[in-house]
Amino acid sequence: MPRRAATHRHQESNPRRQTLPPWGEPCRNKRHKKRVLQGQCDSGNKRASKQKDRKCRKKKRKVGHPIPVVSALMDCFSEMKDPRIDRRRRHSLIAIIVIAVLAVIANADTWKDIQIWGVTHQEWLKTFLKLPNGVPSRDTFRRTISRIAPDQFQQAFLRWLGSGRKGIKGVIAIDGKTLRRSGPGDLQPLHIVSAWACEQHLTLGQRVVDGKSNEITAIPQLLETLLLKGSTVTIDAMGCQKEIAAQIVDAKGDYCLAVKDNQPMLASDVRKSFLAALETDFRSASNDKHETHDSGHGRTETRYFYTMPVPESMSTAHHWKGLKSIGMTITYRSENCDGEIRYYINSFASDAKRFAKAVRGHWGIENSLHWVMDVTFGEDESRIHKDHGGENVSWLRRLAISLIKQETSLTDSIRAKRVRAGYDVAYLQRILESISTEI
């Protein structure tokens, strides 16, 4: 028998010798050989290898969405343009944003806090997120979120919130806030103008300006992004401008604007009109009056609200589009103090109760938003400022406030709810699920 034939027969009788080491198996090319040596795939024909790779990919894609609201959030961000370079992406944009949102709700205030929260909840996050390279580092969170365009960032979140709410009604308060530690060196700190839906406790949008004096240019841009039909817009004296009033009326909304000496002729006309009405003790049938009494924090506050139609003697009335009534408030914070007087112009008919609701509602942005941002979230101490980081993280904080306020199953402070959400994943899910029914 030839030597070659004998060797072949001996190999058939010993099946162990048929198994070759990985470096001895046939490969299609160098790349395939490298994958075989690393144990990522088996050798063999091309068709069998492709079928196996396809099965592996299908198996990896089996990631569920136990929280429907998170699934809706991922859908809203799926069309957003990723600011990073393709070859340097190790983490998906959706995973970075979802982890950041959840972490900020769960008491994370810095980039490092966000990373720590993600690492400690990595197993839970893997149930609905693809994390092939684990949780991103704090630098990845910082670079990615800071480079996203603020307009796209806000609109994506508003689409997410809009999937579970109806139109905004009631008072929309517009006011500015300065992030005092956000300006390093000689740079000015960020000044953010926000629109706050007082009844829904929801931030509708925000714009960054150079300083408080530039709010006049930012407010019209912010109003363009809002649906004002059926709502009443309240702005302090800085926003009492003819163009802003006309823009609100053109959008089929109403306005209640504070009047001070930045509009000297208007302020003089309103003041004289109310002084004349007070001399007759508001006996005219067209005048209206409403008063409230509040007590708390060791003091009692009494407020008087007066409204009257625009007098014929008011020479500046025709400069303000839609102007129908003027208002005055007198506030007494104790029995022995002088009253504090403020004046307003309104685009709705003389109605003291509606006027009182608008004026008191405007303070909601101070008490329910700005105060909470400083005390609970420590926004004034935040030093995040590079690129769009300060504005985008400020938006995440405002979003967290809106979501936490919707969760009413527990009667507790916002800080306590954040701490609980950081420890209890089930409660964090309850906060997220509240937007589909409340907002």
**CA 53 to each of CA 36, 62, 331: distance values in angstroms, whole numbers, following the listed order:** 13, 15, 74
Q: How high is the pLDDT of residue 333?
A: 80
Average pLDDT over residues 405-409: 85
Per-residue confidence band for 353, with pLDDT thresholds at 50, 70 and 90: very high
The more confident residue out of 433 and 344 is: 344
Q: How far is CA 153 from the centre of its chain?
A: 9
What tokens does 268 get? 């003089």
- pLDDT category at 30 given cuts 50, 70, 90 is low
pLDDT beyond 90 at 135: yes
Alpha-carbon span 304 to 287, nearest angstrom: 13
Predicted confidence at residue 167, as pLDDT, reads: 58
pLDDT of 24 above 70: no
Q: Is residue 386 very low, low, confident or very high in pLDDT (cuts 50, 70, 90)?
A: confident
Q: What is the pLDDT of residues 40-93, one digit of tens each?
A: 565 555 555 555 555 555 444 444 545 677 787 788 777 788 888 877 788 888
pLDDT digits 0-9 by tens, 166-212: 557 789 999 888 776 665 555 667 788 888 888 888 888 888 876 55
Q: How far is CA 418 from CA 167, 168, 427, in A?
A: 28, 26, 10
CA-wise closest residue to 344 among 306, 314, 313: 306
On the question of pLDDT at 99 being above 90, the answer is yes
Q: Which residues of 355-379 are buried (b: 16+ CB within 10 A; e: fewer)?
A: bbbbbbbbebbeebbbebbeebbeb
Report the distance separating Cα 114 and Cα 110, nearest Å.
6
Residue 346 has pLDDT above 90, yes or no: yes
Confidence of residue 402 (pLDDT cuts 50, 70, 90): confident
In angstroms, how far apart are the furthest CA atoms of the chain?
133
What is the predicted pLDDT for the residue at 12? 47
How would you class 139 by CB atoms within 10 Å of its CB: exposed for 0-12, middle for 13-18, buried for 19 or more?
A: exposed
Length of the chain: 439
Most confident of 182-186, 312-316, 342-346: 342-346
Q: What is the mean pLDDT of residues 385-399?
A: 81
pLDDT of residue 250: 94
Residues of the chain with pLDDT > 90, as a percent, come to 28
Q: Which of 281, 72, 253 is nearest to 168 (CA)?
A: 253
Identity of the residue numbered 256: C
Share of the chain above pLDDT 70, in %: 76
CA distance 396 to 177: 15
The predicted model gives 18-23 an average pLDDT of 49
State phi, psi for 248 to the nearest 5 degrees.
Answer: -65, -45
**Pick from 294-298, 309-313, 431-435: least confident:** 294-298
**Closest C-alpha to 107, from 423, 428, 424, 419:** 419
The domain segmentation of the chain, as residue ranges, is 20-61, 68-161+385-436, 182-372
User: Is pLDDT at 224 greater than 80 in this prediction?
Assistant: yes
In whole angstroms, give the CA distance from residue 124 to residue 103: 13
**Among 5-9, 186-190, 415-419, the least confident range:** 5-9
Highest mean pLDDT among 2-16, 22-36, 179-193: 179-193
User: What tokens does 196 get?
Assistant: 């706050």
Residue 54 neighbours by CB under 8 Å, 6+ apart: none
- pLDDT at res. 54: 59
Closest CA to 325 of 277, 390, 387: 277
Write down the pLDDT at residue 59: 46
pLDDT reported for residue 10: 47
Q: Which two tokens stand for residue 256?
A: 């209640």
Give the contacts of 52 (CB within 8 A, at least 6 positions apart).
41, 42
Q: What is the pLDDT of residue 253?
A: 93
Query: Which pLDDT band holds residue 357 (cuts at 50, 70, 90)?
Result: very high
Q: Determine the pLDDT at residue 368.
A: 81
User: pLDDT at residue 339 above 60?
Assistant: yes
**Would you give the distance in Å from CA 378 to the centre of its chain?**
16
